[in-house]
């Protein structure tokens, strides 16, 4: 696995938080798991849309390492693995919803130009202009 030459120099708590759930996929994974509660890998991949297996596996590993997502494997045939948010992961949901709401307002101010809101989370966008 790739080793960074220098350790990450995070000096701000905001940087740390964004490293944990920032980016395109981690926040979506958290929102999907918040809505669906428990999903197997294939179900999560189906909810995510156009994510590759490598990117999903990597994002899940990082979220698990950060204590945001729990991976439960069952000793069954065929093997069954489920993913769910941890208590720490659930505490991130209101933060992500606040960012989402702020983004919708920003989109409204820009005349609706830009990306449409994700329909995976449970924030109500029905009042969007």
Write out pLDDT tens, residues 15-64: 878 888 888 899 999 999 999 999 999 999 999 888 999 999 999 999 99
- pLDDT (0 to 100) of residue 38: 96
Cα 11 to Cα 1: distance, rounded to the nearest angstrom = 26
Encoding tokens for residue 15?
Answer: 């940087």
What percent of the chain shows pLDDT beyond 90?
A: 47
Convert the pLDDT of each residue in 63-97 to its tens digit: 999 999 999 999 989 889 999 999 999 999 999 88
Question: Are 114 and 103 a contacting pair, CB within 8 Å?
Answer: no
Q: Which residue has the higher pLDDT, 123 or 37?
A: 37
- pLDDT (0 to 100) of residue 85: 97
Average pLDDT, the chain: 83
| Cα separations in angstroms, 37 against 84, 118, 123 | 6, 18, 16
Instruction: Please determine, for residue 125, whether its predicted confidence score (pLDDT) is greater than 70.
Output: no
Q: Which residue has the higher pLDDT, 50 or 116?
A: 50
């Amino acid at each position: 696995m790739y080793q960074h030459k220098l350790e990450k120099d995070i000096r701000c708590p905001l940087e740390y938080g964004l490293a944990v759930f920032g980016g395109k996929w981690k926040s979506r994974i958290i929102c999907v798991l918040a809505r669906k509660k428990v999903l197997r890998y294939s179900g999560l991949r189906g909810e995510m849309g156009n994510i590759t297996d490598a990117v999903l596996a990597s994002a899940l590993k990082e979220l698990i390492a950060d204590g945001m997502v729990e991976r439960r494997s069952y000793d069954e045939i065929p093997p069954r693995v489920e993913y769910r948010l941890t208590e720490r992961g659930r505490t991130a949901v209101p933060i992500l919803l606040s960012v989402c709401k702020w983004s919708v307002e920003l989109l409204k101010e820009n005349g609706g130009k830009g990306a449409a809101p994700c329909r995976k989370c449970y924030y109500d966008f029905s009042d969007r202009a």
